[in-house]
Structure 1
Amino acid sequence: MLESITALASALTAVVGLFVAHLAYRGYRRNDSPTMRALAIGIVCIAVIPYLILYLFDPVLGLTDAQSLLAITLFHTAGLLAIYRTFDR
């Protein structure tokens, strides 16, 4: 039961993240704004790619827990760095 709830919450996070990233990408295309492109990339790295790692790549590639955790942590870091780029300096 708890696994199902976790999978559902993860899927919902990925779907909402993909929607928000799509809106940011549309803003990039409409205004030719590198800031919005970086925001879209950051959101995908934080919300969508971890879901794909856990529920697609892990079963297909047979990743260990350490490999999955490392990959997710690296994508979270890349996403945060991309979002950091969106701030004016």
Structure 2
Amino acid sequence: MTNKEKAKAYWKENIRYVIILLAIWFIVSFAAGILFKDELNSIRMGGFKLGFWFAQQGSMYVFVVLIFVYVSLMNKLDKKYGYDA
């Protein structure tokens, strides 16, 4: 595999990871916090309605977790394509 092909495959896989992780964040922040708020509000978490919790706290927590997931995925991807130093 040439360097150009390796770089193209690397970025294709990187973009796929980014799209998947952003879709997860969208589902948690927009869908759970806004679209499904009424259904989730029937469940309580720590004294607060779950829909409110997702809108106020949950999406931020998920975003931070997704950052660590992305770092882990990129470390594996770097090793796979030989870009780790």
TM-score range, shorter chain: 0.3 to 0.5
> TM-score under structure 1 normalisation?
0.45
> TM-score under structure 2 normalisation?
0.46
Higher helix share: 1
Higher strand share: 2
Larger CA Rg, structure 1 vs 2: 2
